Each structure stands twice: as C-alpha cells, then as structure tokens.
Amino acid sequence: MDKKLKNTEPPIWADRFFEWYCNADMQEEILGDLYESFMDKSANGHLFQAKCWYWLQIILFINRRTLSRNNNSFTRLNSLDMFRSYFKIGYRNILKNKGTTFINAFGMALAIGCCLVVFQFVDFIYNMDDFHSKRDEIYVVQRTMQQNGEQIIWNDVPLPLGNALINDFPQLNTMVRVNHHGGVVEYKDKVIAQRVSFVDANFFDLFDFPILWGNKENFANQEGIVLSNWTAEKYFGSKNPVGETLSIRFNHKGKEIIERFIINGVLDKTPENATFSASIIIPFQRQKTLMEKMEDWTTTASITFVQAKTPQLIAEIKAREAPYLNRINEANEDWNIVGLNFQPFKQIALNSSNTRNAQFGFTEKAAIYFLIAIAIILLLLVCFNYINITLAAATTRLKEISVRKVMGSNRQQIIWQFITENILICLFSLAIGVFLAHTFFIPSFNNMLGGITLSLSFFKQPLLWLFVLALVLITALGGAGYPALYISKFPPNAILKKEFKIGTKNSFRKVLISIQLILTIITVFSTFVVLLDAKEQKARDWGYQQQDLTIIPLEDGNDFEKFKNDVQKNPNVLAVTGSREQLGQNLAPLKIEVAGEQYDVQGMKIADNYLTTLGMTLLDGRDFNKNLEAESEQSVLVNEAFRRTMNWEQAEGQNFKIGSKNYHVIGEVQDFHAEDFYFKIKPMVLQMATPADLQYVSIRSQSGTSEATAKALGSSWKKFYPHSPYNYSFQDEAFFWYFEKYRQTNSILSATAFMTILISIIGFFGLAMLLLNRKMKELSIRKVLGASFFDISYLINKEFFLPLIISIIIGLPLSYFIIKGLLNSVLSPSSTIGILPFFLTIACICLMLVISLAKHIHTAAVSNPSHFLKDE
C-alpha cells in the first residue's frame, strides 16, 4: 500500500530541481497545483505519461519571475559576492604575511615546475609515434623464445611469416616488413658504410613519415629509393637530390653485389617522437635480386608490422598460432619458440626494453614510475610545508576567525576562505612554476636525458591545461584542507576569552616534519647510492684492459694477416689481433653438450694472440697456437664461469660437443666482462677463428696514443681495402650507453635530491621563524634570567630533534629497501650498498636542518631581550 502510494508521487528529482531554481516564495503554491494536477492525470493509470508531463511543466515554469530572488531573503547569499570577499581577504592576508607567503609560493613553484617537467615527459612517452595516423591499429609481430628457463621476446621473425599471416587472415589490412641490412653507399668520392632498410611496397601506406622532396606515393612501382633527410644531407648537402643515382654495395655470404639506385624522394626531418626511422629505404623486390631468400624460414626480417582494425582479430590469430610455431621451430631447430607476440605499436616505446634485437627507441617503465614518484614526493613536501606554516600561523588568525564567526560566518565559509587563500598562492606559484619549468627545468631536463627536446606548448596541448588545473586544485586542497578544517572548528567565545590555546599539542606537526624528513632521506640516500655505485663501476675491473684499444670492423677477413703485418709497423702499435665478435656488442649464444646434457653458453671466435692483446689472464693450460693445424677444428678455451657451471675440478683436458663435433679444452681464461656489469658473467667458449670468420681487428696502442694511431692507420687500410670505408671505434666506447644511463639517473636523482632539500629547507625555515616569533618572549625572559646559548638553541631545536631521530630510524631502512627493490633496474645486480651512503645521508640531513635553523638560533641568541619584552 505504502509502496503503491509512493509510486504515484510525482518525480522527486523534478521537485528538487524546481525547489532549486524557483523563488522560495512561489514554490509552495505552484508545486501544490502541479501535484494536484499530477494526481488527476496519474489516476487513470498512465503514470509514465503523467511523469513526463510533470517534468515538462517544471521546465515550462522556468521564467524570469520564478528565477528572480527577493532581496530581503536571508536563505540565500549571493555566492559571487562571497567569493569576491574571499579573494579580497586572501589577497590582503598574502600581502600582510609576505615572508610566509613567499616561502609557500616559492616551494610550490619549484614543485609545480618539476611536476610540469614530469607531465611533459610522460605525455611525450605516451604519445610516441602519434604522427602515424594508423598508429593504434599497428602491431609488431615478435617471437617468444624459451631460453634457459626464461621466456625471452625477440623482435625479429622469419621473413615469410608476414606473408603467411596475411594470406591466412585477409582481415589483416596490411602487412609491412622492414629488414635492416648493412651496406656501403658510394656517391662520387663519398664512401660511407651505412644501414639500409628493405621494406614492403606498402610501407608508406602504413606509416606517415613526412616527405620533403620528391614523392613516396609511387614508391612501389618505381625503381627508386627514399632517403632520410640527414642521409641526403650527408651525400648531397642541402640541395635536392631527387633523380640522382647512388650505388650501394652489399656483402652477402661472402659475395659482393653492387647495385645502383635512383633517388625518388627525401623524407623530412623525422618527428622527435618517432620510435623508429630508416635512413635509406629500398623496396623489397630489389632485395630479391640480391638475396632471393624470401621464402626461407631461417632468415628473419628485422621488423614485421601488421595492421588490425580490432584487437579481437589479434586474439583470434593468437589462438591459431600453433601451425606457425611448428613451421618456425622445424626450420630453426635451436630456437624453441613458444608463442608469437603481437606488440601494439603505440606502446612499443614502453615495452621494448627487454626485447632482444629491438629496433625501436624505448624508455624503461621504471623510469616513468620513478619520475612520477618524484613529482608526488615534491608535491607532498610543499603541501606539508603549507600545512605546517598555516597551522603555526593560525594563532595570529584565530581572533579574526572568531570575529567572523560571531558576525555570522558559518564553518563552511571559513573553510572556503582558507582554501581560496591557498588557491591564490597556488595560482601565483603556478605562474612562477611555469616560468621556471619553461626557462630552466625543461631545458636542463632535456640536457640530462639528451636526444629529446620537450617544451611547454599550452596552445597544442589541451591536456596540459587540465593537468595544470588539477595541479592547482590538488595543491590547494592538500595544503589548506586540513588547516581549514582544524582552525574552523573552535568555538569563537572560547578563543575570544583566551580560554584556550591552539597548537600546544603539536604531535601532528611532528608527524608531518618526520614524513618530510623521511621523504628527503629517501631521495638523498638513493642519490648517494647511485652516485657511489657509478663511481665504483667506472673503477671496476673488466677482466681485460679496456683503454687504448682500437677496434676496426672488417668486411673480409681473408686479408687480415697482411693488414696486421702492415699495422704492426706503426711504432705506437703494441699488438694486433682479430675476432669474430666485439666485446659488449654482438655476442652469440651457443648450444653445447657436456656429458649428454645441453647447455646454453656464449661463444666467441678469436685469433691466436687475442688474450694477450686484450690483456686477459690465462689461468691454466695454454693459448691458441696458429701453427697447429688442428687448432681451429678441435681446441677451445673456456672461462672460469664455464668450469664452475660444469662442476669441473680442472678445465684443461675436458671434452664437450658443439653440434656433433667434439672439442677439447686446452686452457682456462680468467673471467672477464664480455657484456656490461648489469649482466653476470656467463659461461663462455672461445674458439679459434678461421680468417674468413674475422670481423673485427683489435689494436693495442701505446697509452694515450689510440686516437692518433687510429687516424694514422687509415693509410694502411686504404692499401688493403680501397673500396671500403675506414671506420674505427674504441673499446671503452662500446659501453657508452651503459654509463650514459648511469649519468642520466645520476643527474635526475641529484636534481631531485637538491629540490627536496631546498623545499625542506624553505619549509623548516618558515616554520621555525613562526615558532620563534611566538616564543621570543619566553626566550627573552629566560635570557634575562641567565640562559646560555645552548639552552636557547636547545629550545628551538627541540621541535625538530625528535622528528629527526624518528625519521632517521624509519627513513634509512625504508630507503634501503626501496633502492634494493625499485631501483634494481638502475643498479646492476652485482652492485652493493655500502655503509657510506648511510653516513652521508645523515650528515646531509643534519646539515640541512642546521642551514634552516642557524639564522633563527643566531637571532634568538644574540638579540637584545629588552627589545621583545618592552612592547606591551
């Protein structure tokens, strides 16, 4: 019954809406009429129609008269006037307390500036490749391999796979393969070794690289090629090269092929957020004439893209992938592929850091989380500063608030007043923050990372506006929310009668100070750990002499001996050797069989005096001897890690199989780092290289002369390899990126630590200033009565001492675990955290507090007590 009655009521939201907009004086009679009418209408059962009619009526009643407000009504205030008043009061307050305002605003500006940098970076990463209009539909086909109990994703898949996929699933709109290949490009007198990319004819249907000269549309039909902007510049300077001819020499399985190409188009500058690009783009049909291996499942394409309109299609292919896997595994016995991986192209930058043979620029996810964490920490710090300072300053404002309350303000209004005040400060800091970010933070961040140029462009990024708005609101509410709630709750008469003192119980403040200190400790500690680790890594022993080692890539190893003899005539050259691999660059996995069991190890092929030239130590047995015929057929050297893995007492004299061939261990080499320190030293097999194997010449020169020697050797090179470009590099450059990552992490961490320290100092300085102002009378009396300098400084330090102890006890272990866990991707697993960072952090934090408080202690200690006592 009751329910039925309720059901026939008019819609309650319509009533509420009406009550909201309508002048209170008219509401009753109008609603009464409507109700009566509604009841009549719903009586005949058409409830829904009645309700619609009711809504219609409510809407029809919106007019000037119902919207008007009587001036004598007390129930509603004009909120516009109210806010104007808030802003006025806020503005006056800000001017009145210039010191604290400056402290709050400056700290906030720093934090906001940093947040903008982080936002720009994250925005940049998430909009990678967005100039390709089909970006969201593109997937990269990758293969997942089971290796040593781990699933590892490789970016290259067999060449025919792409074709097979698009034949079996015609719903895939497009399939494009990109195959990078080495080549030597010749134009007039310029001979440069360069990477060229063979692509399927529809490459430019899928990717929207902007074009500068010529065209890319007829790319498939013509015999031409397309160059990137910077490649064209290398050969032709700034003039338009369309129609010119380039010859490119390929070396394929020992066979030299020279091809001539007409330049069809030149791409414009690659957008900065491109994850991949190509310097010389050649249609695949030209590769056929070169290598004619398009149907070979053992050769791979560097990248295979497919375009799928829906993710369901990808899921469908994934569900029917088994035949492909079998096909691939049949062709490549040692691969053991367990699945295809369709990597969405739009997330390729975030997901490529662990992909082998990845052809895409990438960012570690950890780095992004890390930057976001930094932004949040900085925001927290400034909010805490604001809370502390506002609460400490509240004593002076309590009277104002009480008077407001007596005059009729309600609590809500006082809360809004505080929040408005903070919004004003936030807006002010936002202006400074944007300025700081634009002129200082973003340029230095670009420097730290190198290679990207972020900039604030408010016109192009609608999201940036939203972010800035959210930032202001979060900081305003985070900073002023608690103080507003706290201060507004006291009864005015108690305050006015001075019955009650605020801020005598300051455990809340101590908690905030502790959290601030803990956050600071975390950033400072991590900075020290990474700084010290980087220093240690630089000084670490590689297991061979990395300095003064020049590496020259060879195209053809057969002339190696002659070249070597010529090079040795240079007085600065101490030793020369050759190898198939360069350390740190391209180490191949090798499958071996020991006593019937399979192992995955690393394999290198080296010339006879490789060990002595690189400065490796032979622990046991003997080095290769080129005069022994059987050497390259049967003898191998192994490293310590190999012996340990096999549980051998002694390596020399042992036997194992590579494929079906039997090999004999003739010696053991001391462990050396073939990869960077991030990787553990793996078991390694060193085989004697045949001349045809050799791809790199390693030259040990007199200390400090490697640059000059390398240049001087150019003439010997010309003698033996007149048609090949002379390239050299130095072995220590091979690990440039490894240390570069350290450098980047270091500079970002140092900047963060500096920021947190600066913001904390600012905050503590302001807080101490306010506290001291309140205590000055007490201190003066104490001084008159004979308190010493230490008593005075103790009284001031008291506020910070307990939080300091607590934060050190909690903060140091916490940061230790954070570093251990979160930054594992930054530190190499072999790094250890010594005791030094702990001491440095404590020292740094104490120093920070001394800086924040020194001025105040000094003021308190040396000022004339009568000055503070006589004012009343």
Partner 1 sequence: MKRYQLGEFEEIVLLWVSIQNEEAYGLSITEAIKEKMNRSVTLSSVHTALYRLEEKGFVKSGLGGASSKRGGRRKRIFAVTNTGKDALMAARDARDKLWRLMPDGLFGFSA
Beta bridge partners of 157: 301
DSSP assignment of 515-558 equals HHHHHHHHHHHHHHHHHHHHHHHHH---SS--TTEEEEE-S-GG
Q: What does the per-residue mask of binding to partner 1 show for 656-695, with x meaning CB under 8 A?
A: ----------------------------------------
Residue 31 found at the interface with partner 1 (CB under 8 A): yes
Question: For partner 1, which residue of 14, 34, 184, 749 counts as binding (CB under 8 A)?
Answer: 34
Question: For partner 1, which residue of 7, 44, 63, 75 counts as binding (CB under 8 A)?
Answer: 63
Contact yes or no for 112/433 (Cβ under 8 A): yes
How far apart are the C-alpha atoms of 779 and 796, rounded to whole Å? 10
Residue 798 found at the interface with partner 1 (CB under 8 A): no
Contact yes or no for 715/569 (Cβ under 8 A): no
Q: How many residues bind partner 1 (CB under 8 A)?
A: 18
Burial of residue 228, with CB atoms counted within 10 A of its CB: 0-12 exposed, 13-18 middle, 19 or more buried: buried
Burial of residue 419, with CB atoms counted within 10 A of its CB: 0-12 exposed, 13-18 middle, 19 or more buried: buried
Q: Which of 56-64, 120-128, 170-178, 677-685 is the region at the interface with partner 1 (rule: CB under 8 A)?
A: 56-64
Q: How far is the CB of 67 from partner 1 (least distance, A)?
A: 12
How far apart are the C-alpha atoms of 388 and 516, rounded to whole Å? 11
Question: For partner 1, which residue of 8, 16, 21, 32 counts as binding (CB under 8 A)?
Answer: 32
Q: Which of 58-66, 197-205, 632-640, 815-823 is the region at the interface with partner 1 (rule: CB under 8 A)?
A: 58-66
Q: Which of 61-69, 137-145, 222-230, 257-265 is the region at the interface with partner 1 (rule: CB under 8 A)?
A: 61-69
Q: Which of 25-33, 87-95, 461-469, 617-625 is the region at the interface with partner 1 (rule: CB under 8 A)?
A: 25-33
Q: How far is the CB of 32 from partner 1 (least distance, A)?
A: 3
Residue with Cβ nearer partner 1 (17 or 250): 17
Question: For partner 1, which residue of 8, 13, 28, 820 counts as binding (CB under 8 A)?
Answer: 28
Residue with Cβ nearer partner 1 (32 or 834): 32
Question: For partner 1, which residue of 12, 60, 80, 835 counts as binding (CB under 8 A)?
Answer: 60
Q: Which of 26-34, 383-391, 447-455, 591-599 is the region at the interface with partner 1 (rule: CB under 8 A)?
A: 26-34
Residue 816 found at the interface with partner 1 (CB under 8 A): no
CA 593 to chain centre: 41
In sequence order, what are the residues at sequence separation of 6 or more whose Cβ sits closer than 8 angstroms to the Cβ of residue 646? Answer: 594, 599, 654, 683
Q: Under DSSP, is residue 708 helix (H, G, I), strand (E, B) or coil? A: helix
152: Cα within 13 Å, side-chain hemisphere: 14
Residue 19 found at the interface with partner 1 (CB under 8 A): no
Beta bridge partners of 214: 265
Q: Which residues of 106-140 are buried (b: 16+ CB within 10 A; e: fewer)?
A: bbbbbbbbbbbbbbbbbebbeebbebbebbebbbb
Contact yes or no for 672/611 (Cβ under 8 A): no
Question: For partner 1, which residue of 17, 55, 61, 126 counts as binding (CB under 8 A)?
Answer: 61
In sequence order, what are the residues at sequence separation of 6 or more whose Cβ sits closer than 8 angstroms to the Cβ of residue 854? Answer: none
- Indicate the DSSP class of residue 689: P
Residue with Cβ nearer partner 1 (30 or 366): 30
Q: How far is the CB of 60 from partner 1 (least distance, A)?
A: 4
Residue 29 found at the interface with partner 1 (CB under 8 A): yes
Q: How far is the CB of 504 from partner 1 (least distance, A)?
A: 53
Count of other CB atoms within 10 angstroms of residue 844:
18
Residue 49 found at the interface with partner 1 (CB under 8 A): no
Please name which of 433, 431, 423 lies closest in space to residue 386, comparing C-alpha atoms: 423
Q: Which residues of 57-91 are buried (b: 16+ CB within 10 A; e: fewer)?
A: bbeebeeeeeeeeeeeeeeeeeeeeeeeebeeebe
Q: Which residue has the tokens 């569900």?
A: 319
Residue with Cβ nearer partner 1 (5 or 319): 5
Residue 30 found at the interface with partner 1 (CB under 8 A): yes
Residue 740 found at the interface with partner 1 (CB under 8 A): no
Residue with Cβ nearer partner 1 (19 or 295): 19
Question: For partner 1, which residue of 8, 24, 39, 268 counts as binding (CB under 8 A)?
Answer: 39
Residues within window 758-797 making contact with partner 1, judged by CB under 8 A:
none
Provide the angle, in degrees to the nearest 10, between the axes of the packed helices 98-126 and 411-436: 60
Sign of the CA dihedral running 520, 526, 531, 532: positive
Residue with Cβ nearer partner 1 (40 or 778): 40
In sequence order, what are the residues at sequence separation of 6 or more whose Cβ sits closer than 8 angstroms to the Cβ of residue 836? Answer: 528, 532
Residue 70 found at the interface with partner 1 (CB under 8 A): no
Residue with Cβ nearer partner 1 (61 or 124): 61
Residue 57 found at the interface with partner 1 (CB under 8 A): yes
Q: Which residues bind partner 1 (CB under 8 A)?
A: 9, 26, 28-37, 39, 57, 60-61, 63, 65
